[in-house]
Structure 1
Amino acid sequence: MNTDKKIPADVTQIIDACPFGIVTVNSASIVDYANTAFTKITGIEIESILNTPNHVMWKTLLKYYSVDGNMKTYIGGVLTLRANNSLNVVRLSCQLPKQSNTKQILYFQDITAESEVDRMKSEFLYSATHELRNPIAIIFGFSELLINNEFDRTASLDIIETIHQQAKDLNHLTNELLDIARIESRKGKDFAISEESVGKILLTIEKEWCGRVGKERIRLTLPSQIPKVLIDKDKIKQAITNVMSNACKYSPEDSVVSIDIALDKVMSDSMIGISIHDDGFGMSTEDISHLFERFWRSDRFRHIPGTGLGMSIVKEIVEYHQGVIDIASAVNQGTTVTIWLPVYIDLASLE
């Protein structure tokens, strides 16, 4: 920290503990003060700007940062600085003290996380709007055909079936968007957590999926003893169902999707795994790296209907439960998704 200014020690400690980088410029336009937070936030050493003219400090800043906005209007306002060689984003605000020997006080705030959230929100809204427009456009176009033209019953039914399918897809997409928004906005407040049997949940899922794709496609294997977990059973069931949907959708119709319980981490990590394996098309390393991104879909599977939101929802649910997801897959060699959940521990029994 600059000590050229005579500042009481207790004030110095307070300023050093401040999360904002602070730089002052005196009436002669010389940088005469900077706190240690300036270096932490910008990565620029205090010595490189201290006792230098204001314009030299700006030259130093602009070696490492580019500026959003008009620099001519920043005095008394705010600028956003983006690092040239990293993801760092810094907000710079300026105050002009009155009746003081200090000409400017500059405040530097690290807003990297905030900027990333804003970027993700913008991308999410753009992607959601794009995905919603497609079925809406098809519904509008085909309904307009029915209004303005006369068709025989066969042709009319074909158009109506298309409209119905698109409305179904639109409803599914809307529900998934609402699921993500609800989980994020409520931050788990609407989760009903209780001690549950994984075995019972999987038996219910087995029955449902046997009804959907046939008994010959689903194979459930349960060990005799399964530790209980502390979960919202409906949310976990939704997560498993999303994984099951992918397993059945991205594998041949005559192949088997197996569900197993993994117990190898029970003793070491106090977790049990729910593994869903298919012998389907599999994923590349690149595919796996994007799997949990919202609306992302591999170019290999664009012909298969989907929203690209299913695994994002799985991730949100599992992470809220303090669980983890393991993915093992290779192209044309199938995929295994394992959802690891913490084992329920009765703390009263440990007393």
Structure 2
Amino acid sequence: MNASGRPARYGPTLRLRLTAVATALLATGLILSGALVYLTLDRTLSLEVDRALADRARVVIASITVNASPDGLSIQLPDVDAIAAGGAVVQVTGFDGTIVRSASLGRVTLEVSRGAQAAAQRGQVFFETVTVEQVQLRVHAAPLVWRGDTLGVLLVARPLGPTELVLGGLQIVLIGVGGIVLIVCAILAWVVARGALRPIDDLAREAGSIGADQDFNRRLSDHVSESAAEVGRLATTFNAMLDRLQDSFAAVQRANSRLEAMLQSQRRFVADASHELRTPLTTIRGNAHLMARGAGVTEEDTREMVTQISSEADRMSRLVTDLLTLARADAGLPIVRQPVMLRPLLESVGFQARTLAAGRLTVSVVPYTGDGDLMVEGDPDALRQLVLALADNAIKYTPDGGSVSLALRSVTHGTPRGSADRSMPPIQRPDQRQAPPTVTAQISVIDTGVGIGSDDLPHVFERFYRADRARHTTGSGLGLAIARWIADAHEGTLAVESSLNAGSMFTVSLPATVVAGVVDNDDDVTSDDRTD
């Protein structure tokens, strides 16, 4: 099938074309060589006939007797028929009209052409081919000279039949032998072309089978790849193309899998978001209707309904805020960086987490025991949102009486981040100072909650994902996805260690710098947070 979907129309096969070209070249060579042989033999035989006629003419001239009488000169040819032996005929035509000829001519008279007569008068010989009574004759005309006077023209002729018979036989031999050779060579060319092109046929057949089966794991067999150099290179190139197709096909399959997983996550999100939005909307609509009706509603009921409306509106606001944050992540908007001190930030988040826990579990901040403070370059609001999301997640899934702790520690690396070989010390020039060690700040949120199953653990950072056992709790499944994005935006990592009924530990690792003393962050991190 071609690109338009119609059956492909192929021209003559390459095997047939090669055979036709080889046969045409051979036929041209045979024709040229046969023509050369034929023309050479024709020329050779013609020269031989002319030489024989010239020899006989000299013999005849040497034997001619001329007698003088009162009536004039008479020409006598002694034993002319003996001289004309071997198929040659002799005739002497005098300028006075006298004709003496051999008996083999009978009553036939050879005409002296104007060319022969003129050549004789000039004392020159002349050759020509004439037809007498449907017989071709080769004629040699020579002047007959006696005592310095030209008496007439001597004609010595010979039939060309034997020569034409030889040339005709040669022509038959050339055509017959040439035809046989041409047929044999055409068959041999077909066989050779078939053998030479068999690897291409095998390649086409195997490639068609691979395409029909869509099995990109297959490769052309070794006997095709190890064929002639050109076919071998073609097979190698085809196998390399299959490798690229396989990689592309695998990439498409991975993309389809990711797309399917994303669609599944979106479907789950639509269900969760519908549930999350339906509940506050139902509450707000019901309370609004009661307040609008007014009958039998006390002042205390009104305050309670207003409180519920405000609480549900806050839930909707948080959901919308989470969606806007993810939209910002998808748009690739950069974060605004500034120095952020992690110890006061962690204490502020711990205070807010204790408020979220509402006394049903213990929230503690493990004191930082390192020298000075850890500072990162980042967005303080985004970093606080990151740690608070982890703390809020821990509180949600920790039963009453459990505990949640927040810890900060530093990890110092002996080799600066990004060096090529960490097993060898870097080469330092005399004019270079030793680079300071790289420090990584790690914030850990540890809980004694229900933990995460091994099946759900690889998906906890996916958007809209919520484990089945977590669907009874509030939330949209966006908090951990947002936390992962914030960590990535700060060139950090977010990891989790957990098992069912054994609690969880989320660890954020960020590139940091150790600073002496304690420098507070903005007031919205250190003081205003405590009023949330």
Matched, 1:219 2:371: no
Shift of 1:294: 1.7
Residue from 426, 442, 445 that aligns with 1:273: 442
Of 312, 315, 331, the match for 1:169 = 315
Q: What do you get for the CA RMSD once the two structures are aligned?
A: 4.2
Indicate if the aligned counterparts of 1:49 and 1:57 stay in contact, CA closer than 8 A. no
Question: Which residue number in structure 1 is paired with residue 10 of structure 2?
Answer: 28
**Matched residues in 2 for 1:242 and 1:285: separation?**
22
Structure 1 residues 29 and 59 mapped into 2: Cα distance closer, same or farther (>3 Å)? farther
Q: Which residue of 1 aligns with 2:379?
A: 232
Residue 61 of structure 1 is matched in structure 2 by 214
Q: Distance in 2 between matches of 1:294 and 1:223?
A: 36
Q: What TM-score does the superposition give when structure 1 sets the normalisation length?
A: 0.61
- The separation in 2 between residues aligned to 1:281 and 1:130, in whole angstroms, is 24
- Following superposition, the deviation at residue 27 of structure 1 comes to 5.2
1:182 aligns with 2:164: no
The answer to whether the aligner puts 1:242 opposite 2:389 as a matched pair is yes
Distance in 1 (alpha carbons) for counterparts of 2:11 and 2:513:
64
The aligned runs of 1:1-351 (5 Å cut-off) are 28=10, 50-52=203-205, 56=209, 58-61=211-214, 90=249, 111=252, 115=256, 118-119=259-260, 122-138=263-279, 141=282, 143=285, 147=289, 152-153=296-297, 165-185=311-331, 187-189=332-334, 191-213=335-357, 217-220=362-365, 221-225=367-371, 226-267=373-414, 270-344=439-513
Retained in 2: the 8 A contact 1:325–1:340? yes
Q: 1:292 and 1:260, CA in 2 relative to 1: closer, same or farther beyond 3 A?
A: same
Letter of the 2:346 counterpart: L
Gaps of 5+ in 2: 1-6, 15-199, 218-245, 416-437, 516-532
Instruction: Specify whether residues 119 and 271 from structure 1 end up closer, same or farther in structure 2 by C-alpha distance, changes over 3 A only.
Output: same
| Offset, 1:264 | 3.7
**Are the aligned partners of 2:370 and 2:409 in contact in 1 as well (CA < 8 Å)?**
no
User: Is the 2:280–2:316 Cα contact (8 Å) retained in structure 1?
Assistant: no
Partners of 1:88 and 1:112 within 8 A in 2: no
Q: Residues of 2 paired with 1:29 and 1:296: CA distance?
A: 59
Partner Cα distance (1:166, 1:193) in 2: 33
SS at match of 1:286: coil
Give the letter aligned to residue 278 of structure 1: D
Given residue 172 of structure 1, which amino acid in structure 2 is its aligned partner?
R
Which residue identity does 2:385 align to in structure 1? Q
Aligned-pair CA distance for 1:238: 0.7
Distance 1:270 1:237, change over 3 A: same
| 1:98 match | none
Q: Give how far 1:286 is off.
A: 2.2
The structure-2 alpha-carbon separation of the partners of 1:135 and 1:275, relative to structure 1 and needing over 3 Å to count, comes to closer
Is 243-252 or 111-120 further displaced after alignment? 111-120
Structure 2 counterpart SS, 1:222: coil
- Deviation string 1:195-254 (CA, Å, 9 cap, x unpaired) is 322112112222323344368823221124243222222211111000010112211343
Deviation at 1:165, TM superposition (A): 4.5
- Kindly, what percent of the aligned residue pairs are identical? 19
- Helix, strand or coil for the counterpart of 1:343? strand
**Structure 1 pair 56–28 and aligned structure 2 pair: CA distance change class (3 A):** farther
Q: Distance in 2 between matches of 1:48 and 1:138?
A: 69
CA separation of 1:49 and 1:229: change in aligned 2, threshold 3 A:
farther
Q: Radius of gyration: which is bigger?
A: 2
CA–CA separation in structure 1 for the residues paired with 2:327 and 2:476: 15
- Given that 2:374 and 2:514 are in contact with CA atoms closer than 8 Å, whether structure 1 keeps it comes out as no
How far 1:328 moved relative to its partner?
2.0
Aligned pair in 2 of structure 1 residues 110, 243: CA closer, same or farther (>3 Å)? Answer: closer
1:71 aligned partner: none
Q: AA paired with 1:51? A: A
How many residues of Structure 1 are paired with residues of Structure 2 in the alignment?
266
8 Å contact from structure 1 (residues 219, 257) kept in 2? yes
Specify whether residues 263 and 315 from structure 1 end up closer, same or farther in structure 2 by C-alpha distance, changes over 3 A only.
same
Return the alpha-carbon distance in structure 2 between the equivalents of residues 183 and 49 of structure 1.
53
Tell me if the contact between 1:195 and 1:228 (Cα under 8 Å) persists in the aligned partners.
yes
Distance change >3 Å, CA 61–CA 260, structure 1 → 2: same
The structure richer in helix per residue is 2
The amino acid of 1:288's aligned partner reads L
2:106 corresponds to which residue?
none
Cα distance in 2 between the residues matched to 1:49 and 1:177: 58
Q: How far has the Cα of 1:122 moved from its partner?
A: 3.8
Q: 2: distance between equivalents of 1:310 and 1:267? A: 34
Give the TM-score normalised by the residue count of structure 2. Answer: 0.42
- Structure 1 letter corresponding to 2:364: R
Q: Hey, what's the Cα distance between the residues in 1 that align with 2:358 and 2:287?
A: 38
Shift of 1:338: 1.1
Gaps of 5+ in 1: 1-24, 33-46, 65-86, 91-108, 347-351
